[in-house]
Amino acid sequence: MERRNYTVHVFILVGFSTSPQLKYLLFVIFLFIFMISLLAHMFIILIYRFSPNLHTPMYFLLANFSILEIGYISTISPKMLINLVSQNTITFYECALQMSCYLLLASAECYMLAVIAYDRYNAICHPLLYNVLMRRIVCIRLVIGCWFVGLYVSILQPLLIFLLPFCKSNRINHFFCDITPLLSLACNNTQFNEIILLIMTVIVVVVPFMLTVISYANIMWTIINHHSAGTRKKAFSTCTSHFIVVAISYGAASIMYLRPRSSYGMNGEKFLSLLYAIIAPLMNPFIYSLRNNDVKNAVKKLKCEIAQDGG
């Protein structure tokens, strides 16, 4: 990528606060969240790998979702933690790489949530056809499709952003290299970039969100009409918790990227970014996997096998 038109070689990530005391407190909190998220997602991958009874379409998708989440949080959290306690600079190419990885994983994750909802829709609404509709090759193609969407966005958006000249300032008023704060530093007119961002947000956020809503709406309708009161209560509880996570992820991203640039205010945007970049990855393993009876039974079975081998 040609760099002779750029006047900024190093960016400063402003982050959250200039108060040293608050920075160290945030460091401890975010480090704890990062470690719990990382361990929870690694646990899901391992329990899927070593538990044959979990080798189903649902847990195949959840294991792949955890792989996405590990990459997602590892793209943002480590640099954010370093910036809280030491230098808060990031080079031009590091910033471009972080944005590319973030867009790749976040975009793929948006569609993966829709795929997981589609899997639950088939399991509940079409149980007799489930093994045909969600056979192995279909699941693999759906996962590849999610990565393909992410790859497309991760190439197009950073290319358009980092071809702009940055000469207003080198201070990114955010805790990672996101699209909107970088656009505010550009010297040129960014109207074209904003239009592309709007189109990409509709494709990556709005479309999978609508697919997810349709899947859960059909699930709820089927449960209401064809299941007992006890089953309905349990299903409503599960679907509600799933939809809360979905609403946080899609809702925060929609507000962040669909708002006009004139209404851009970084304090609110930092909070929204925290929701979908830090908090949602922490909640996802507990909402989607770790509460499931299948996972609990698989853990108990593995414990028994380990105890027997040890004996």
Enter the tokens of residue 300: 């108990």
What is the rounded distance in angstroms from the CA atom of residue 112 to the CA atom of residue 72?
A: 13
pLDDT of residue 262: 56
Paired with 11 in beta bridges are: 90
What digits encode the pLDDT tens for the residues 202-248? 999 999 999 999 998 898 888 887 766 666 666 666 677 777 778 88
The answer to whether the beta carbons of residues 218 and 121 sit under 8 Å apart is yes
Paired with 90 in beta bridges are: 11
What is the rounded distance in angstroms from the CA atom of residue 92 to the CA atom of residue 9?
A: 5
The phi-psi region of residue 234 (left if phi > 0; otherwise alpha if psi is between -120 and 50; otherwise beta) is alpha
The answer to whether the beta carbons of residues 208 and 111 sit under 8 Å apart is yes
Give the chain's residues under pLDDT 50: 1-5
The answer to whether the beta carbons of residues 128 and 226 sit under 8 Å apart is no
Alpha-carbon torsion (147, 152, 157, 162), positive or negative: positive
At which residue do the structure tokens 């991958």 appear? Answer: 45
- In the CATH hierarchy, which fold is given to the domain comprising 10-310? Rhopdopsin 7-helix transmembrane proteins (1.20.1070)
Global pTM value: 0.88
Instruction: Tell me how far CA of residue 68 lies from CA of 2, 27, 156, 210, 278, in angstroms.
Output: 31, 23, 20, 21, 14
Enter the tokens of residue 210: 């609508």
Q: How is the chain split into domains, by residue range?
A: 10-310
pLDDT of residue 227: 63
> How would you classify the pairing of strands 10-13 and 89-91?
antiparallel
pLDDT of residue 231: 64
The helices-and-strands tally (H runs, E runs) of the chain is 12, 3
pLDDT of residue 5: 47
